[in-house]
Structure 1
Amino acid sequence: MNENIKQVSATLNPPAPHMVGDGFRVHNFFPNGYKLKMSPFFLLDYNSKIQFSARNEPRGVGVHPHRGFETVTIAYHGAVAHHDSAGNSGVIYPGDVQWMTAASGILHKEYHEEAFSKKGGAFQMVQLWINLPAKDKMSKPKYQALTHAEIARHQLPNNSGQVEVIAGEYLDTKGSANTFTPIHVYNLRLNKSGEASFNFPANFNTAFMVIEGEIKVNDREIAKADTLVHFKNEGEQILVTGLQDSIVLILSGAPINEPIAHYGPFLMNKPEEIQQAIADYNQGKFGYLEE
């Protein structure tokens, strides 16, 4: 066996779903569903594909604060409108990415987009929380809107499909998002019988979320839609084969080796920083956003 293969540590079924607000039915793979080494990725909420009925009043999540990290929302089906207290707003449609750096603090709300809500239909999303290093936690909030058309693509040989490079780089294709630490976030769109190979440093925490289809990893492990493939921190090379036409969200990043203090929507390094975040929020220092 090639010693440089990054071996699978586990293929994980989706944990029981729970509702976030009334618009997002999510499986929390980590940190609550499974205890995984995935820093700098702190949270993965997967809204598996469900049908929402038509409704005049959009479902969603009301105004809530964030501090100390980034939220990354990736749309596969449906449409989400969002607003924040820094004055940013927009809509993400299938293939789009909303990359919000909450950092020093922001208020945020997200709802099903109005036209989608009135019509109803298939809805499927991923939200990631990406931790920030201590030196960047209190930086200015910012927002990166990445439409599907703008995201960098690498065409795979032999009509295997393509890699959409949201962040980091894949071979010679550089990702569209700016990041604070070394991370790779890709959407792999793999055709049936297509192959793609990846190379990540041994110490990078790595996982594949199978969004659609079915894949074989390293010619051994089979992973179906809605499962998470988690890798060991050894070896570098991963081979993926499409057993069906498949979409796979690929995550790999250098761990941030700093202490974590987490409470609700705040992700800091020390308990006193959590207390400060709560105090700042209560004093209105995160700005104002209408419900």
Structure 2
Amino acid sequence: MKIKQVSAVLNPPAPHMVGDGFRVHNFFPNGYKLKMSPFFLLDYNAEIEFSARMKPRGVGVHPHRGFETVTIAYKGAVAHHDSAGNSGVIYPGDVQWMTAARGILHKEYHEEEFSKTGGLFQMVQLWVNLPAKDKMSNPKYQGIKKDEIPKVTLAAGAGEVDIIAGNFDQVKGIVSTFTPIELYNTRLNKGGKAIFNFPSHFNTAFIVIAGEVRLNESSLVKTNQLAHFKNEGEVIEVEALSDSLVLMLSGEPINEPIAQYGPFLMNRPEEIQQAIADYNEGKFGYLEE
């Protein structure tokens, strides 16, 4: 098998606030123009300390249609509610996989107790596009607790892989996806090495959540940096230069046109107009601010 070479190691773009509770670096599509379908957006809330506050910070009621949001918590805690009556809290190590599909109203904010004490906060949110045939399917949630995520212990004490989606070392991830996606949290001990295989045509990127790694014996990637890979070759070797945590995402491209406006991700401009009309007519349901 051929090595999948790194095409770029990217520093986090300048941060911006989403609501008043999320200070994010948008790696794509705005920060960098990366080929990453089916992943449309990657917002990375690098580690930051929020002060204590009685009224939780967050993002008020907003709609989604045509895609999935994936929230991965590393530090801090986020509460959420939606117009279908779902609610919950995402703690460190947990994952929330929300399929907005035909439409949902959503709000998310710092969990009440975390807000009262303040502390370190670190999260990733991905937008995962849906193929045209699934964009108007029913909304659903996959709320996954840390202890439910399948794990593979690497040889020679190198570390551990949490398989959120896809397959690694014949262990299947917990999340069901509409298109082929590999999504792992990989913890490597200093000096640990591991080999990963992704199909050559899959769009692939790694973001270093903590630590420092060397890829394919050449590319150095530090905390908060993102490594983007070429669409050739399959094999990636990872070596940890310190205790490290790496979020790995790889997926089969959805080769369909994209029309995007705010929180709507469709295929054609007229579908965006329909989404706006449906939202204005209350067809996404009701959710109290």
Residue number in structure 2 paired with 1:185: 183
Aligned to 2:59: 61
**Corresponding residue to 2:248 among 235, 241, 250:** 250
- The CA deviation string for residues 181-215 of structure 1, in whole angstroms up to 9 with x for no partner, is 00000000111000111101100000001000000
- The 1-side partners of 2:274 and 2:123 are apart by 32
**How far does the alpha carbon of each residue in 1:204-261 deviate from its partner, in whole angstroms, 9 at most, with x for none?**
0000010000000001000000000000000000000000000000000000000000
Q: Counterpart in 1 of 2:96?
A: 98
The alignment partner of 1:82 has SS state of strand
Is the partner of 2:232 in helix, strand or coil? coil
How far is 1:130 from its partner? Answer: 0.1
Give the counterpart of 1:266 among 256, 264, 267. 264
User: Helix, strand or coil: the match of 1:178?
Assistant: coil
Structure 2 matches for 1:1-291, cutoff 5 A? Answer: 4-291=2-289
Q: Aligned with 2:285: secondary structure? A: coil
Tell me the distance in 2 between the aligned counterparts of 1:83 and 1:170.
32
Offset at 1:37? 0.3
- For residues 112-140 of structure 1, the C-alpha deviation after alignment (integer angstroms, 9 at most, x for no partner) is 00000000000000000000000000000
Alignment-mate amino acid for residue 285 of structure 2: G
Q: Which amino acid aligns with 2:100?
A: A
1:284 and 1:190 map into 2 onto residues whose CA distance is 47
What is the DSSP-based 3-state SS (H/G/I as helix, E as strand, rest coil) of the residue aligned with 1:158? helix
Q: Distance in 1 between matches of 2:246 and 2:228?
A: 13
Q: Distance in 2 between matches of 1:185 and 1:82?
A: 22
Separation (CA, whole Å) in 1 of partners of 2:161 and 2:114: 28
**Which stretches in structure 2 are left out of the alignment for 5+ residues?**
none
Cα deviations by residue, 1:140-163 (Å, 9 ceiling, x for unpaired): 000000000000101100011100
Once the two structures are TM-superposed, the CA of residue 171 in structure 1 deviates from its matched residue by 1.6
Q: Measure, in 1, the Cα distance between the counterparts of 2:79 and 2:188.
A: 29
What one-letter code is carried by the residue in structure 2 that aligns with 1:119? T
Q: Which runs of 5+ in 1 are unaligned?
A: none
Letter of the 2:198 partner, please give it.
F
The CA RMSD measured in Å over matched residues stands at 0.5
State the SS of the aligned residue for 1:118. Answer: helix
Q: C-alpha distance in 1, partners of 2:158/2:92?
A: 21
Aligned residues, how many?
Answer: 289
Matched residue SS, 2:155:
coil
Q: Structure 1 CA distance, aligned partners of 2:78 and 2:279? A: 25
Matched letter for residue 93 of structure 1? Y
Secondary structure of 2:157's aligned partner: coil
Give CA-to-partner distance per residue, 1:88-125, whole Å, 9 cap, x none: 10000000000000000000000000000000000000
Distance 2:83 2:178 in 1: 22
Counterpart code for 1:182: P
Q: Which amino acid aligns with 1:206?
A: T
Per mean C-alpha deviation after superposition, the further-off stretch among 166-175 and 265-274 is 166-175
Q: Distance in 1 between matches of 2:213 and 2:236?
A: 12
Letter in 1 for 2:263: P
